[in-house]
Amino acid sequence: MLMVPKLRLVEPSNIYRKVPTRRPNAEMRTREYLTPNEVEKLIAAAKLARHGQRDATLILVALRHGLRAVEIADLEWSQVEWGRNPALHVRRAKSGKPAVHPIRGERGGPFTADAVNRLVKTIGARAKLPFRVHAHMLRHACGYALANAGHDTRLIQDWLGHRAIQHTARYTELSPTRFKEVWR
C-alpha cells in the first residue's frame, strides 16, 4: 500500500514582505559604451593611482582587445607572443571563439573579474564621468570604435570572439557620421 502524506495549505507569516528586483540596465545607465574622449579621461585618471601604469595598461588592453573582465583577470604572460610580430592569444569566455590579436604599441595575487570591475569603477569615478563605468563598457567601446572606423562586421565579430553575428551587429548601428564620405 502506497503512503501519501497529507499536505495542508499554509498562509504566509509576513504578507508585506517584498522580493527586491533589479532595475534594467537601460534605467541605470544611458548607454553601454565609452567614447574615445571618455576612454582618455579614464586612462588619465588611472595613471593618478598608486599602481597607475598597471591600471592604465589594464584599461588600454581591455579597450584594444575588447576583453571581458574575466578575460582580463585570466590573462597570462604565456598568452603574449613576442618577436618580430608580437601578438596576444585571447582565450574567450562564454564559449567565444579564441583569437590572436597583434600587439601594437607587484602584487603577488592574481586579478579576479570582480577586482577588475571594482578597479574600473573606481577609475571611472576618479575620471568624473557623468555615469557609472564598468569594465564591459571598454569591450563595447572597442566594438563601436572598430565599427566607426569602417571595419567589416565579420572582422569585428572575430576580433571580439562572437560566435553569432547578431551579437556584433549592434556595433554597426551607432554612428551616422560613418556614412559621411560614402558618395563623395
Residues 6+ apart with CB under 8 A from 96: 160, 161, 162, 163
Is 159 exposed, middle or buried, given 0-12, 13-18 or 19+ CB atoms closer than 10 A?
buried
pLDDT of residue 179: 64
User: Which residues belong to the active site?
Assistant: 68, 94, 136, 139, 162, 171
Q: Supply the pTM of this predicted model.
A: 0.58
pLDDT of residue 57: 92
Alpha-carbon distance of 88 to 90, in angstroms, equals 6
pLDDT value for 175: 62
Assigned CATH class of 31-139: mainly alpha
Domain ranges of the chain: 31-139
Predicted local distance difference test score (pLDDT) of residue 106? 43
- What's residue 56's pLDDT? 94
Residues of the chain with pLDDT under 50: 106, 108
